[in-house]
Structure 1
């Protein structure tokens, strides 16, 4: 039997975050996945470089891949430096991959990376979300709710 997953992931150092994802999508479920990286990619990420704003994940041939994530070339790298936008393999259990594939195919959901971070053991991880896209009216409701929370906090500060 599998070990129960913690409600939040052990994020020691967050490298890249996709803040727009929570605005554009309804987040249904989150997964923690390892990333298969080369040496210069790890060094570049440790320096805090990298972007996942345009990235997405897909499942090809029973494997999960992170596509369009930008990890810039390592500045002190030599001729063995990596390609910045290459597809990177995500390390997930086969049961998790089957579950994600089923949700993407049947329910029309999307795999969106929320953040790239290093855990307490120093391993690079991706927080991957199973998400459904928002319509324009849903986005307006999100903006309205966010503004109301901000105004409520301001009023409470002034009068409370």
Structure 2
């Protein structure tokens, strides 16, 4: 029989050889290169709207049908209006926070002053009243009119 001390030497030798072989395989293995496509902002928005429209179409509950109708009502359908006035496409994602919506409105130059819009939103108690969807908003509307469109609320 092998002495106890020699057993440990063989065990350590086996572990060492295993580590060397494993490390060699890892070093010699080919690296995987991932291909990715750079998307333009227009392609991203187009794909996002397609996904959102699919989500809207696939909802079956009555409440989602009511929301779908509200979203569809808010989308500008008349091509003549689009020709006369410049329309800005604006998207509210489902679950998007009101501060993010305000930032996006400001970045798209739909509103001029974030704080003023926020104050009107708070005054109208509309922080959680935004309806997600795709909107075509006419350029030059007041903050109150933009808020009314995005929340589908009548002005008090």
Bigger strand share: 1
| TM-score with structure 1 setting the length | 0.25
Larger relative contact order (C-alpha < 8 A, sep ≥ 6)?
1
| TM-score with structure 2 setting the length | 0.26
Larger Rg: 2
